[in-house]
Amino acid sequence: MVSESSSVLHSWCVQAEWNAPTIVGGEGARFWDEAGHTYLDMSSLAECMNLGHQHPRLIRAIQEQAQQLCFVNSSWGAAPRRALAEQLLEISGFEGGRVFFTLGGADANENAVKFARQASGRPQGKVVARDRSYHGASYATMAWSGDSRTRLPGDEAFSVLRVPPPYAYRCPHASASDAECATRNVAHIGAVIGQAGAENVAAVLMEPNAGTNGIVAPQPFWPALRAETHRCGVYLIADEVMSGFGRCGEWFAWQEHGEAGRPDLMTLAKGLTGAHIPLGAVILAKHVAAELEYSMLNTGLTYCGHPLACAAGVAAIAAYRDEGLIQRSRLLGGVMLQRLRAMQDRHAVIGDVRGANGLFAIVELVKNRATREPLSPWPSLHPSLARFVTLARERGVSFAVRGNLIILAPPLVIEENELQRALDIMNELLGELDFT
């Protein structure tokens, strides 16, 4: 038998170095490999299994839909597609808008920019995006991402205007407080739009909160950005691929700010089906959808709004609602943040702890707290952090790390005692390992 490592091309790694167990099952916040080792999942795999592993309600919905009808393309109506679109518009308060379904986050972002260009009448319009962001791995979304992994020659072809991130711990504008960092960042974005000429800008594309690049925007950032984009007359696209579906303690992270945070378009994936089946979506506000109503929509995907995926999406929304998972994320997110702050008091290697209002937090490791020198230059991984991941796995916990960051995003269904156990192991390892 050919081993998986020699037949599959794996993402984001050196192929010759790939060496991971084969996962064969899961339940709730745990999954297990073929050797029978069980892991507590502290990252929801790719920050996507918000509903945990093998959620029975989703499995049932997929099975039932498969028995009834597997596929209808988008030139015909499909009941689960319509049901999911209606429910997404309801939970986001985008009534009167429209939903375009995709297969994941990258194509949701690409299509959102297409719609923003068409609706604004700026077909060549530029996209304002920030450093230390991630919007996907297609060519265009790589260009719009400010991610060290995705810089390619020729990015300019995708009309990106890059701006610094609202990274309060290392504020690019040398601000004295989180609030000042947010204000200066937004003022800079306004200036960049002004310089390009708003009539040449199609949209600002940004994550409102949680993201793989470890930025948790200071509280005033998003509403200030919303106000500034309104002032400039430029659409705001919220990339909620990671931050949506309870990850930040709301259905969608912008909702923390109420109407003052409402974007013009929003992109979704990951938690939309809790990763039980691939699905992404673009939600267009009523005023954006109205601009597209009488012209040809020059885009499409064979699997747009695939019935199996949409049935899973409908079941996912019911599960978030009936199991109170958004509130649970807020509650357990508070518990997690408190424990991480206590670890910060204990371990000098922790420079910063930042968290959203839900089960998402970043622990940033430093060589020196006073100078804030990163444990390793971004995005390289310090050998002790790599060792942390290996030892944690041996003790039955799976953590996600990147550069000098530990990214904590467990499934929203995690039990409190499981969460506490995983954090105990993290605390032990931070004490045992030598980070010098």
Ligand X SMILES: Cc1ncc(COP(=O)(O)O)c(C=O)c1O
Q: How far is CA 123 from CA 32, 107, 196, 199, 299, in A?
A: 48, 18, 15, 11, 14
Q: Hey, which bits of 114-270 come out as E strands?
A: 126-130, 160-163, 201-206, 235-239, 265-268
**CA 377, CA 140: separation in Å to the nearest integer?**
27
Residue ranges in 352-411 that form contacts with ligand X under rule CB under 6 A: none
β-sheet bridge partners, residue 265: 237, 284
Is 208 or 374 the residue whose CB approaches ligand X more closely?
208
Rounded to the nearest whole angstrom, what is the least distance from the CB of residue 230 to ligand X in the complex?
Answer: 23
Of 409 and 425, nearer to ligand X (C-beta) is 409
Minimum CB distance to ligand X, residue 411 (Å): 16
Which residues in 47-106 contact ligand X (CB under 6 A)? 104-106
Shortest Å distance, C-beta 360 to ligand X: 11
Supply the minimum distance, in Å, between the C-beta of residue 130 and ligand X: 12
136 lies in the site for ligand X, by CB under 6 A: yes
Q: Which of 39, 94, 115, 134 binds ligand X (CB under 6 A)?
A: 134
| C-beta atoms surrounding 276 within 10 Å | 24
In the bound state with ligand X, the residue whose beta carbon lies nearer, of 207 and 256, is 207
Applying CB under 6 A, the span of 162-170, 206-214, 215-223, 410-418 interacting with ligand X comes to 206-214
Give me the DSSP letters along 357-400: SSS-EEEEEEEETTTTEESSSTTPPPHHHHHHHHHHHHTTEE-E
Q: Which helix (H) or strand (E) is 401 found in, with range?
A: strand 400-402
Q: How far apart are CA 214 and CA 248, in angstroms?
A: 14
- Paired with 23 in beta bridges are 33
| Interface with ligand X, residue 241, by CB under 6 A | yes
When computed from its CA atoms, the radius of gyration of the chain, rounded to whole angstroms, is 21
Task: Compare residues 44 and 384 and give the one whose CB is closer to ligand X.
Answer: 44
Residues in region 160-189 near ligand X by CB under 6 A: none
Phi and psi for 40 in degrees, rounded to 5? -85, 130
Q: Is 127 a binder of ligand X (CB under 6 A)?
A: no
Considering only residues 130, 135, 262, 339, which one is a binding residue for ligand X as defined by CB under 6 A?
135
166-200 CB burial, b ≥16 within 10 A, e <16:
bbbbbbbeebeebebbbbbbbebbbebbeebebee
For residues 122 and 135, which CB has a smaller minimum distance to ligand X in the complex?
Answer: 135
Here the tokens at position 72 are 């209808």
Q: Taking the complex as a whole, how short is the minimal distance between the CB of residue 338 and ligand X, in angstroms?
A: 26
Site string (261-300) toward ligand X, x via CB under 6 A = --------x-------------------------------
What's CA 70's distance to the chain center, in Å? Answer: 28
* Residue 11 Cβ vs ligand X, minimum distance, rounded to whole Å: 9
Nearer to ligand X, 103 or 284 (CB): 103
Options 147, 207, 364, 418; binder of ligand X; rule CB under 6 A:
207
Q: How distant is the alpha carbon of residue 269 from its chain centre?
A: 8
**Which residue, judged by CB position, is nearest to ligand X in the bound state?**
105
Using CB under 6 A as the binding rule, whether residue 248 contacts ligand X is answered as: no
Distance in Å, CB of 140 to ligand X, minimum: 12
Between residue 211 and residue 240, which ones bind ligand X under the rule CB under 6 A? 211-212, 239
Task: Give the C-alpha separation, 328 to 396, whole Å.
Answer: 24
Q: Which C-beta is closer to ligand X: that of 39 or that of 134? A: 134
Residue 143 interacts with ligand X (CB under 6 A)?
no
Instruction: Say how many residues touch ligand X, by CB under 6 A.
Output: 14
- Six token digits for residue 367: 């060589």
CB nearer ligand X, residue 253 or residue 423: 253
Judged by CB under 6 A, the residue of 206, 242, 282, 423 near ligand X is 242
CB 58 within 8 A of CB 251: no
Contact residues for ligand X, defined by CB under 6 A:
104-106, 109, 134-136, 207, 211-212, 239, 241-242, 269
